[in-house]
């Protein structure tokens, strides 16, 4: 200020001094003018800074509650200083045409433009960010494909400065910020978070939801304005998967709050005897009887065979021996159990389900009988050695018990009278088939013939 005062007070004396002492008559005015310009420019700079501090440091903060962005302050300083500089320049050098100096220098403009391409890009992107105000200092933002997250600390004319949750500073250039997608969690907004957990399938969902909601509601930094929401996300492989959605007072502390919420859930689970699910595998060790059948199955087979009328005369030991020799098979609906015309050396008892006995009539299957639990079939080929007389097809899912030639021979050896009743049944069935096939002879003749052929086949006298 003193220098400025002196240079303006002794303006004329200085010109004379330069003129007489140094012989700079022609340049004295310019030198004094430049000196005045420099000192006035310094003064203008100080004034602009003072105005900046007054307007943005005090008034802005007072009215808006937060400090003005650096970019706005810088833009203000540049414009105000340039305007003052032009004013001072035109006062000191009224004859110089500053405008012409800039407008005529096209090459200068191109060079400057190219050199400042990125800088200007950032600068204008910064201005558009300020105009749009998508976020401001204090907000948590996540930027770009790298998903860098942090709290906005400053928006300068070049970049957005964020402080990550590892306390690193990341600078994102304004032009990048303008192009990339930005997820903003504003400071004044109630931002929500999701925390995941799971329980065993045995734990009641209603109880779990209540317990977790109450536990999370009380945690620090969890907003009291909205009650947390607990809901089932998935019925998973290891247990029931849940999520709890809660709203934060200060979103910038979400890492700590998530951790606290998980901790509260753990303690709440302890108190309420709820259990977290983790990958488990339950091994059931099963001891099978030597026959390869389960105990229940074996007794069910014994029960089934003792209910079959032709086996009624057998003692319980004989039935049990027969059951051990029997093999169980399951057929899907529509599957063929035995095919007409095939050779056969075993008979079957229907254990569970239904089968239909079908004969071929002019190329089409005709059902001659439907057999269900406890009925038997396949005895004809077994006892006579002839091919299967008909096909047997499962109507529904059907389990059959197969009894082979050797097992039946043992039964006949101990119960020769069985052959009699069997031949009776076979003759009856043959008669029923006679309608479709030309089976000759009366039932009586048939039975007499059958009886002897069965006895022959099983080597009986």
Q: Is 369 in the site for ligand CMP (CB under 6 A)?
A: yes
Stretch that binds ligand CMP, among 188-196, 221-229, 382-390, 452-460 (CB under 6 A): 382-390
Stretch that binds ligand CMP, among 84-92, 244-252, 257-265, 386-394 (CB under 6 A): 386-394
What's the CA gap between 266 and 258, in Å, rounded? 13
Smallest gap, in angstroms, from Cβ of residue 445 to ligand CMP?
Answer: 18
Nearer to ligand CMP, 247 or 377 (CB): 377
What's the CA gap between 274 and 262, in Å, rounded? 14
Instruction: Show contacts with ligand CMP in window 389-428 (CB under 6 A).
Output: 389-390, 392
The bridge status of strand 354-361 relative to strand 364-372 is antiparallel
Residue nearest to ligand CMP (CB): 381
Number of residues that bind ligand CMP (CB under 6 A): 17
In 3D space, the residue among 404, 356, 377, 370 whose CA is nearest the CA of residue 308 turns out to be 377
Nearer to ligand CMP, 103 or 367 (CB): 367
Nearer to ligand CMP, 303 or 342 (CB): 342
Stretch that binds ligand CMP, among 124-132, 142-150, 196-204, 379-387 (CB under 6 A): 379-387
Nearer to ligand CMP, 357 or 418 (CB): 357
The total of other beta-carbon atoms located within 10 Å of residue 443's CB is 14
Interface pick for ligand CMP out of 368, 395, 434, 448 (rule CB under 6 A): 368
Measured over the CA atoms of residue 361, residue 366, residue 368 and residue 372, the dihedral's sign is positive
Q: Tell me, residue by residue from 287 to 326, as one string, x for binding to ligand CMP by CB under 6 A and - for no binding.
A: ----------------------------------------
Q: Is 73 in the site for ligand CMP (CB under 6 A)?
A: no
Nearer to ligand CMP, 67 or 402 (CB): 402
Phi-psi region of 427 (alpha: psi -120 to 50; beta: other; left: phi over 0): alpha
Interface pick for ligand CMP out of 32, 44, 125, 338 (rule CB under 6 A): 338
Helix (H) or strand (E) holding 150: strand 148-155
SS3 string of 407-438? HHHHHHHHCCCHHHHHHHHHHHHHHHHCCCCC
Smallest gap, in angstroms, from Cβ of residue 389 to ligand CMP?
Answer: 3
Interface pick for ligand CMP out of 429, 446, 447, 454 (rule CB under 6 A): 429
What's the CA gap between 395 and 409, in Å, rounded? 30
Interface pick for ligand CMP out of 433, 434, 448, 451 (rule CB under 6 A): 433
- Residue 90 CA neighbour count, 13 Å, CB half: 10
Angle value at C-alpha 213, between 251 and 238, nearest 5 degrees: 100
Question: What residue has token string 């403009």?
Answer: 109
Q: Is 381 in the site for ligand CMP (CB under 6 A)?
A: yes
Q: Name, in order, each residue with C-beta under 8 angstroms of 299's C-beta and a sequence gap of 6 or more.
A: none
Instruction: Show contacts with ligand CMP in window 344-363 (CB under 6 A).
Output: 344, 357
Query: Can you name the residues that pair with 331 across neighbouring β-strands?
Result: 398
What's the CA gap between 274 and 204, in Å, rounded? 9
Smallest gap, in angstroms, from Cβ of residue 333 to ligand CMP?
Answer: 19
* Binding residues vs ligand CMP (CB under 6 A): 338, 344, 357, 368-369, 377-381, 388-390, 392, 429, 432-433
């Amino acid at each position: 200020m003193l220098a400025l005062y002196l240079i303006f007070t002794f303006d004329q004396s200085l010109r004379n001094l330069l003129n007489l002492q140094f012989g700079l008559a022609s340049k004295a005015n310019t030198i004094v003018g430049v000196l005045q310009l420099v000192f006035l420019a310094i003064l203008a700079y100080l004034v602009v800074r003072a105005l900046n501090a007054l307007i943005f440091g005090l008034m802005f903060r007072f009215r808006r509650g937060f400090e003005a962005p650096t970019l706005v302050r810088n833009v203000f300083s540049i414009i105000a200083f340039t305007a003052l500089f032009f004013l001072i320049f035109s006062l000191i050098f009224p004859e110089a045409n500053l405008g012409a100096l800039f407008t005529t220098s096209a090459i200068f403009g191109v060079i400057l433009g190219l050199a400042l391409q990125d800088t200007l890009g950032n600068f204008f992107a910064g201005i558009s960010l300020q105009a749009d105000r998508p976020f401001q200092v204090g907000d948590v933002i996540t930027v770009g494909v790298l998903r860098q997250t942090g709290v906005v600390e400053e928006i300068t004319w070049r970049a957005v400065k964020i402080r990550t949750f590892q306390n690193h500073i990341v600078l994102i250039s304004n032009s990048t910020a303008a192009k990339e997608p930005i997820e903003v969690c504003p400071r004044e907004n109630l931002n929500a978070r999701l925390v995941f957990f799971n329980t065993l399938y045995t734990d009641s969902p209603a109880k779990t939801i209540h317990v977790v909601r109450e536990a999370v509601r009380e945690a620090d930094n969890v907003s009291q304005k909205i009650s947390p929401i607990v809901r089932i996300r998935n019925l998973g492989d290891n247990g029931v998967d849940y999520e709890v959605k809660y709203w934060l007072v200060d979103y910038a502390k979400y890492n700590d709050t998530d951790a606290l919420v998980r901790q509260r859930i753990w303690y709440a689970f302890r108190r309420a005897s709820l259990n977290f699910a983790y990958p488990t595998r339950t091994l059931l060790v099963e001891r099978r009887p030597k026959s390869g059948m389960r105990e229940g199955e074996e007794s069910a087979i014994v029960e089934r065979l003792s209910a079959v009328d032709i086996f009624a005369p057998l003692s319980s030991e004989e039935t049990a021996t027969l059951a051990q020799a029997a093999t169980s098979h399951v057929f899907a609906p529509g599957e063929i159990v035995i095919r007409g015309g095939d050779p056969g050396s075993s008979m079957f008892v229907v254990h569970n389900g239904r089968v239909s006995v079908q004969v071929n009539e002019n190329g089409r299957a005709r059902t001659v009988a439907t057999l269900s639990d406890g009925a038997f079939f396949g005895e004809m080929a077994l006892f006579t050695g002839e091919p299967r007389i008909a096909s047997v097809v499962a109507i529904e899912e059907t389990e059959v018990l197969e009894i082979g030639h050797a097992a039946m021979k043992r039964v006949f050896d101990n119960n020769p009278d069985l052959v009699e009743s069997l031949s009776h049944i076979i003759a009856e069935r043959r008669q029923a088939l006679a309608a479709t096939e030309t089976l000759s002879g009366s039932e009586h003749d048939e039975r007499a013939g059958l009886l002897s052929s069965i006895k022959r086949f099983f080597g009986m006298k």
